[in-house]
Every structure is written in structure tokens, then in C-alpha cells.
């Protein structure tokens, strides 16, 4: 039976690479997007051209009705779901003292509530032998100034991931989080001076930024063969932090 994966936030950056990697692994992929329909359609077109199966679905990850409809659609089209990857997230940057509270609320809604809503549906619907993979960040340990709201939201993701793994007892479903470090995506580069990018490049012992495919490789492992890794936050950062 072909495994079926949902990837939220799949229209760009790491999410796109994850969707394409899981399709290469032989999975049928539901490409979720929030606003960028053109990019989502391009991803599906590429997967189909390569011989895979994929479709798109637009939804607000924090809206439980829309996310329930997304899972309904996956079950209607493909019969069920085996892997759910939560890459959707936002990252407004500012020192705590300057951050607008409306931006904090937006981060909370997308990164915490969104992950919770998707995980709730996943916990109810993922088939036996499946995997739920949330997205955290290495910034919770690196503690880079300006990332307070983002790191706080991902700390919440860590907590819900570890607890959900235990709540899935008896279902043979793993629950883990991937915590990338500096990764060369449009989200990472936006608003950063070159000096900050250069410093991040030198921080890892491998002396480069992570690439989206580096992160997708870890997701592929957790989504497939890694059945004995459960209830973990996997720091995927080239050695910046352990």
C-alpha cells in the first residue's frame, strides 16, 4: 500500500523540499498551502511529471474546520493518511522590548495553535505505523537575539511533541520534531544583513548554512525507517548545538 503524507506549509522553503523528498520516497503527497497557490501547483506538477501522485489543498492551519476538511479530502482521495509533517510557520524578528504584541499573537496563532490543530487531527486519523513530524528550531538552544517570539512558540511545539508521543501509546505512531538551525531559505534571508549571514555560515563546524534538502533528509528518515526514534527533538543544524 502506498503511504500518504500531508505536508503543511509546503509551498516554499523547507516545506517544498520535504514534499518533493517524500514524493521521491514513493509517497503520495498532499501539498498544503496558505496563500501561494502558484507555487503549490508547481510542486504538484513537478511531482506528477516525475511519476508521483500529489494534490494541493488551501487552508489556515489554525482553523480547525479547514484542517478537518483537509484531512477529509486526503481520506476521500487516497483512503487515509500515514505521515503528517507540520512545516507551516512564521518568523517575525525583533528584540522582545520592541516586538509588537499583534506580531506575538500572529506567531502564537500560526506556530502554536496551527501545530496543535494539525497535530490533533493527525492524532485522530494517522494510520497504524505512521509518523507525525512537527517543526521546532535550534534557536531554542542557540538563543539568538531577536528571535524571542519565534523561539518561545517553538518551545511550545517541543512540549506538545514530547507529550503527544506518549499519548499515542498503543497506536504504533511515532511523534518527533525536527529543529533546523540556520537554513538557506527565503524566510531565513529576509531582513538579515550579510554580516549576520556570514556569522551563521561560520558557526557550524561544517562551515556552511544548512540547505532545505539537509532538513528534508531527516524528515524522510523519521517518516520512513526510523521506527525506534520517538518523542525526540532532532537538532538538524550541522553541529551548531547538540
Mean pLDDT, residues 70-75: 98
CA dihedral angle for residue 232, residue 233, residue 237, residue 240, rounded to 10 degrees: -100
Asked if residue 108 has pLDDT above 70, the reply is yes
Q: What is the pLDDT of residue 74?
A: 98
What angle, rounded to 10 degrees, do the helices at 13-24 and 37-49 form?
20
Which distant-in-sequence residues (6+ apart) come within 8 Å of 49 by Cβ? Answer: none
Q: How confident is the model at residue 21 (pLDDT cuts 50, 70, 90)?
A: very high
Distance (Å, rounded) from C-alpha 131 to C-alpha 126? 8
150 belongs to the catalytic site = yes
CA distance 185 to 159: 26
Strand partners, 8: 86
| Architecture of the CATH domain 4-183+212-236 | 3-Layer(aba) Sandwich (3.40)
pLDDT of 192 strictly over 90: no
> Average pLDDT for residues 31-60, to the nearest whole number?
96
Which helix (H) or strand (E) segment holds residue 39: the answer is helix 37-49
The average confidence (pLDDT) of the chain is 95
Model confidence at 222: pLDDT above 80: yes
Determine the average pLDDT of the residues in 238-242.
Answer: 83
The neighbour count for residue 205, using CB atoms within 10 Å, is 8
Residues 199 and 56: their CA atoms lie apart, in Å, by: 37
What sign does the dihedral 228-47-82-88 (CA atoms) show?
positive
- Nearest partner of 235 among 163, 140, 160, 156, judged by Cα: 140
How confident is residue 158, by pLDDT bands cut at 50, 70 and 90? very high
Selected catalytic residue, list 147, 150, 188, 235: 150
Segment 112-147, tens digit of pLDDT: 999 999 999 999 999 999 999 999 999 999 998 999
Rounded-to-integer distance, Cα 94 and Cα 149, Å: 8
pLDDT for 242:
61
Q: Is the pLDDT of residue 166 over 70?
A: yes
User: Hey, where are the domains in the chain?
Assistant: 4-183+212-236
Amino acid at each position: 500500500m502506498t503511504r500518504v503524507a500531508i505536508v503543511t506549509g509546503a509551498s516554499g522553503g523547507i516545506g517544498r523540499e520535504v514534499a518533493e523528498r517524500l514524493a521521491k520516497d514513493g509517497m503520495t503527497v498532499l501539498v498544503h498551502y496558505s496563500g501561494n497557490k502558484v507555487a503549490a501547483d508547481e510542486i504538484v506538477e513537478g511531482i506528477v511529471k516525475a511519476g508521483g501522485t500529489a494534490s494541493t489543498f488551501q487552508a489556515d492551519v489554525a482553523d480547525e474546520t479547514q484542517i478537518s476538511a483537509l484531512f477529509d479530502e486526503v481520506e476521500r482521495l487516497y483512503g487515509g493518511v500515514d505521515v503528517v509533517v507540520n512545516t507551516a510557520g512564521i518568523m517575525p524578528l525583533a528584540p522582545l522590548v520592541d516586538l509588537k504584541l499583534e506580531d506575538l499573537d500572529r506567531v502564537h496563532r500560526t506556530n502554536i495553535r496551527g501545530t496543535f490543530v494539525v497535530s490533533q487531527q493527525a492524532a485522530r486519523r494517522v494510520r497504524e505505523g505512521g509518523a507525525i513530524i512537527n517543526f521546532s528550531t535550534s534557536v531554542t538552544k542557540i538563543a539568538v537575539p531577536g528571535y524571542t517570539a519565534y523561539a518561545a512558540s517553538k518551545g511550545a511545539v517541543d512540549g506538545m511533541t514530547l507529550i503527544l508521543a506518549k499519548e499515542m501509546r498503543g497506536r504504533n505512531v511515532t511523534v518527533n520534531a525536527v529543529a533546523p538551525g540556520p537554513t538557506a531559505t527565503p524566510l531565513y534571508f529576509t531582513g538579515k544583513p550579510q554580516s549576520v549571514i556570514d556569522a551563521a555560515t561560520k558557526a557550524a563546524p561544517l562551515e556552511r548554512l544548512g540547505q532545505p534538502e539537509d532538513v528534508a533528509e531527516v524528515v524522510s528518515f523519521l517518516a520512513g525507517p526510523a521506527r525506534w526514534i520517538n518523542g525526540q527533538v532532532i537538532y538538524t543544524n550541522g553541529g551548531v548545538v547538540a
